[in-house]
Structure 1
């Protein structure tokens, strides 16, 4: 049996949102291969618990992350010191073990590019973002990828196209690999009934779920506007649940959302809940998934989860979501940042339960055909094989 190759994963957070879940799935599945995953994150959090539960080696260490704050003069001046701490931490936790490939999960992780270059180790940069604003960030990331990435894994064709449109030389190094989802747990009927009761959903109500971090991009306020329009049209047999938390320091987004809900005529039918690890209870309990992102999503893991739960998806028609959802078959793609077209699609879904069921079944079939974790892992391992042989 050939020796296992160590794959060092560096990731910016320890939450359980999109890119976190992708890392968890990939690292866990690699345990069954010739590759040994070692995961490093800068903070403790639920991702650490899940990785350890799966048997994945993981560590907490200093990592240099790029952010809006880093783009300031003070942030730039602090980078050399942060990098030095990151390098010391990583070297210490490896204890002399050889790394075959370094995998930077998301563009925000700067340490990986420079540590891999210093040690002459192949570097995979896994791009989960489409960064449009600020323009300076787009330029900087393009050059970093050009200088420091041996392979670039893009989670969608839209992500790849955005990178190449800004830095054409990246095309030969880009590989488009759609995210995959592992087998979901079976629905728990008692939990579903309790959750719908918690939302005060009557038997004829359609429960609409939006799951995602509360920020300016995910479209929570746009959904509230659409709900207000539905209410004024006389469509009132719905309940909306918005599930997610804010990044520390961005509590103003949650405050603004609650203000918008309070001002809506549909306020009593809209709930906001903090992030939950019981995400499948939410998906199993809802009737419609909505992803009204105001800027292009690079992919959209929540769309896969909803489809795996057999739910139709109403989503903004840009970015990677256009590669997941088949309009009129598995859901609706609506005009981005337009509350009226969002309300129109939701009205169709609310008022036609049989259509919801057909679309949900079609979405489940599409997930099983195109977006399984097995399929993603086959493509990921092929990239690692290219670099170690």
Structure 2
């Protein structure tokens, strides 16, 4: 029995016979760490498996591909270009999109979709538009999940217009991600489904042991307080420098404070400059660094406070939510979804204006100075996180969303044409051009049934023999007519030659007769 039974918008929505096929396109698949967008996509895949035959499409092998297979989900590797300029709303994004469409991968995407025959396509993140565009061209329903907040520029409306054009449904993970899409055309298409987690999968009973083991590994005693910073990828926008500026001041104020950095540096130079704040004050012995840890249930329990100083407009702030789930006080910059998360969980006092390092310091300093408050805030966060963002709330929102999907079986186009005038019939994976307008009409087709498709789609498929106007029967008939005509002409030419010879002979006889008469 499906967890999310369709109540149908038409017979195609019924799931009584079989589950519809959904292709889910991940923009990345890191072999070293899992980003927030990857984590949320995989979580959604797991929740959709009871309803759909899910197939995860990744650009390369990596961690989420392996995890998806562990869930019994098929995985296909298909490299597809990304369009980061769409997320950044840059002035050249449409020109860059056209350049991507000239790449071989764009043509291969059409063939891939045509062969897979999905009933619906889901593309993940703003930077991954090509699956949506190709699927929409083939009239396959498209869900576009927006994990990040499109940058605010003079071209943001163009980015939103592209999403509106190629998405049948838009799922945002926060009001922040949906804000740039609040246009009249996108309002009815957009649904907010905040992230969640499987609490049982985090093995809460193991947390006390994990805390003890990790702190022993890091050389942290029971009397010390560990302040943590976590980011799957460490780069400037994730605010490590601000964390370090705060941390060194806290370290000098609180001798029992220790610090843990978890993440993979993207820019080694930037990372080293951040550590220089501690080196310059001879405080490096108070800091620990862990490149990446897939099992978060072994890391968060070791911490006492989590700080998320993101400088970018976050789509949600999964790290902050995870900190709350593990019962930790969480101090954040109010960047996009992080501010929403703070308000929703009663943590507005721990939301600091973006860039305010002194604000980070004052909140962490107050928590370290009041053990009772530190414990109370952590306990409250654990309860509120489950209440507001727990799996029950997530499943209900997802159920409502899925029940409203209009899904139809993939129907390959039968008659297509690109920007040229040639019309093709799509037969057995081949495009067969019609030899003439007459052959098209003679086959019983109507021009209003021809689907306009990009030239890339025409170029992506092999071409078969023409239909009508150039077939073998017409060639044989034409050749026969030509031979008959030559034969008639030859016969006519032969009679003319005989007549001309006869006239010449008559003229010669007449001349001889006249000469004989004169000589006599």
TM over 0.5: yes
Q: 1:10 aligns with which of 1, 25, 30?
A: 25
Q: Which runs of 5+ in 1 are unaligned?
A: none
Where does residue 450 of structure 2 map in the other structure?
none
Superposition pairs of residues 255-334 of structure 1, within 5 angstroms: 255-326=272-343, 329-330=346-347, 332-334=350-352
Q: Report if aligned partners of 1:181, 1:304 keep a CA contact under 8 Å in 2.
A: no
Q: 1:173 aligns with which of 186, 189, 192?
A: 189
**1:77 positional shift:** 6.4
Superposition pairs of residues 105-120 of structure 1, within 5 angstroms: 105-120=124-139
Whole-angstrom distance in 1 between the partners of 2:363 and 2:311:
16
**1:381 positional shift:** 3.9
Whole-angstrom distance in 1 between the partners of 2:17 and 2:331:
47
Q: Report if aligned partners of 1:329, 1:359 keep a CA contact under 8 Å in 2.
A: no
SS in 2 for 1:104: strand
Q: Report if aligned partners of 1:228, 1:265 keep a CA contact under 8 Å in 2.
A: no
SS in 2 for 1:159: helix
Where does residue 365 of structure 2 map in the other structure?
347
Where does residue 80 of structure 1 map in the other structure?
101
Q: Deviations over 1:236-259 (max 9, x none)?
A: 321111111144xx4443333333
122-131 or 137-146, which moves further after superposition? 137-146
Q: Deviations over 1:261-303 (max 9, x none)?
A: 4234543212222121122211011111111111221101112
Q: Report if aligned partners of 1:64, 1:110 keep a CA contact under 8 Å in 2.
A: no
Whole-angstrom distance in 2 between the partners of 1:170 and 1:384:
18
Whole-angstrom distance in 2 between the partners of 1:344 and 1:328:
20
The TM-score normalised by the length of structure 1 is 0.89
**1:3 positional shift:** 1.5
326-335 or 175-184, which moves further after superposition? 326-335
Where does residue 215 of structure 1 map in the other structure?
235
Whole-angstrom distance in 2 between the partners of 1:349 and 1:117:
52
Larger Rg: 2
Whole-angstrom distance in 2 between the partners of 1:237 and 1:312:
17
Whole-angstrom distance in 1 between the partners of 2:376 and 2:370:
10
Superposition pairs of residues 88-107 of structure 1, within 5 angstroms: 88=108, 91-92=111-112, 96-107=115-126
Q: Which runs of 5+ in 2 are unaligned?
A: 1-15, 408-520
Q: 1:28 aligns with which of 33, 43, 46?
A: 46
Q: 2:143 aligns with which of 121, 124, 134?
A: 124
Q: 1:196 aligns with which of 215, 223, 226?
A: 215
Where does residue 246 of structure 2 map in the other structure?
226
**1:87 positional shift:** 4.9
Question: Residues 104 and 77 (structure 1 numbering): CA distance in 2 closer, same or farther, change over 3 Å?
Answer: closer
Where does residue 157 of structure 1 map in the other structure?
175
Question: Residues 147 and 353 (structure 1 numbering): CA distance in 2 closer, same or farther, change over 3 Å?
Answer: same
The TM-score normalised by the length of structure 2 is 0.67
Q: Deviations over 1:118-161 (max 9, x none)?
A: 2111111111111326x366344222112111121111112212
Whole-angstrom distance in 1 between the partners of 2:242 and 2:196:
28
CA RMSD of aligned residues (A): 2.6
Whole-angstrom distance in 2 between the partners of 1:111 and 1:211:
31
314-323 or 3-12, which moves further after superposition? 314-323
